[in-house]
Amino acid sequence: MAASPDNIQIRVHSRRGGGGNTIHPVSVESPPTAAAGIYRDVKHSKKWFPWLIPSFVVVNIVMFIITMYVNNCPKNSISCVAGFLGRFSFQPFKENPLLGPSSSALEKMGALDVSKVVDEHEGWRLITCMWLHGGVFHLLANMLSLIVIGIRLEQEFGFVRIGLLYLISGFGGSLLSALFIQSNISVGASGALFGLLGGMLSELITNWTIYANKVAALLTLVIIIAINLAVGILPHVDNFAHIGGFLSGFLLGFVFLIRPQFGWVNQRYAPSGYTSISANPKFKVYQCVLWGLSLILLIVGFTVGLVLLLRGEDLNDHCSWCHYLSCVPTSRWSCNTQPVSCQAEQAGSKYTLTCSNNSRSRTYSLLNPTASQIQGLCVQLCR
């Protein structure tokens, strides 16, 4: 799962990843031939030891610890949560309800900020943002989901294919997010997590003939994906990262997760003296067609997306309803994504802040406050 939910412009869009109620590739149906045992032995011998996904989990945790160290709440904020943690304490709940750092700290660490990508040519933020998280709750949700989904996939397909699927899907999620959400920063691994879910779906489709209980598996997986995407319509959740990651992973699954057919496996690993009546192709025609179409769509999609991003295009200008894909306003919440800003007036040690978004005002007694402290107070005032 993901929830990655922000100059004074303080809203970090959360990327909420796939939930724990995921399914894994179902048991492979044994072929009705004497060579069935051979196939099972081959499958058993090709199980991979999962080390890459656990490594990704460790990297994400280490990056969060470093981010909290850089954040240094006691120095840069007036008040902190869990102050006994020292410089690792959290920003006030009104500023960050996820128990995490400030948006300025996330920006320093490489959060996705479209203005910096386009105007300052910091394209690396499309990658670094997927290793950052908005808070403890966000981190836990995403890492638990990554363990549940990723380890089984790495066991089945190996670290190379699953590693590429994860990284490219995360990039795809960041790219689509940058084309639609340009007023706030965004962090989180859930674009990559949705890529793994998308890969699971396309793997089931492209390897349809070798699965048992295929219809039940398909319906279960589709329901899980739909529920997780539906969560993305809540405010402060970057559903465009989810959608971009899912579409990337779905197409990548046809490319990376294709399995050979039973007949070809039986021929290749048949014992000496075993003869086959007819030669069997390694892949079916529909598998090859899906492989080629997906590869073309991926190349075209990433190329067009990067060109539009570097030209500074905002796709909301060309799609008046697309913003509803990321947030649907209701009587219980607003989808306002305007950057937070405040006007400050100083009279001695008294600072009066007025939120430009809701016109609220409050006076604080501050002695030589830093810009980060003023920023934090502004965020709390505007929320």
Q: What is the DSSP letter of 112?
A: B
Phi, psi of 361 (to 5 degrees): -130, 150
One-letter amino acid of 363: T
Query: 283, 200, 276, 265: which is closest to 45 by C-alpha?
Result: 265
CA–CA dist 233, 238 (Å, integer): 8
One-letter amino acid of 266: N
CA–CA dist 219, 112 (Å, integer): 34
Contact 180, 313 (CB under 8 A): no
CA–CA dist 78, 91 (Å, integer): 9
Contact 179, 314 (CB under 8 A): yes
DSSP sequence for 27-87:
PBPPPSSTTHHHHHHHHHHTPPP--HHHHHHHHHHHHHHHHHHHH-HHHH-S--BSGGGGG
Q: Is 13 a catalytic residue?
A: no
What are the residues whose beta carbons fall under 8 Å from the beta carbon of 307, sequence distance 6 or more? none
CA–CA dist 248, 172 (Å, integer): 6
Which of 242, 294, 323, 326 is an active site residue? 242
Contact 246, 162 (CB under 8 A): no
CA–CA dist 224, 220 (Å, integer): 6
Q: Is 55 a catalytic residue?
A: no
DSSP sequence for 273-330:
T---SS---SS-HHHHHHHHHHHHHHHHHHHHHHHHHHTT--GGGT-TTGGGGT----
Which of 89, 145, 169, 190 is an active site residue? 190
Catalytic residues: 190, 242
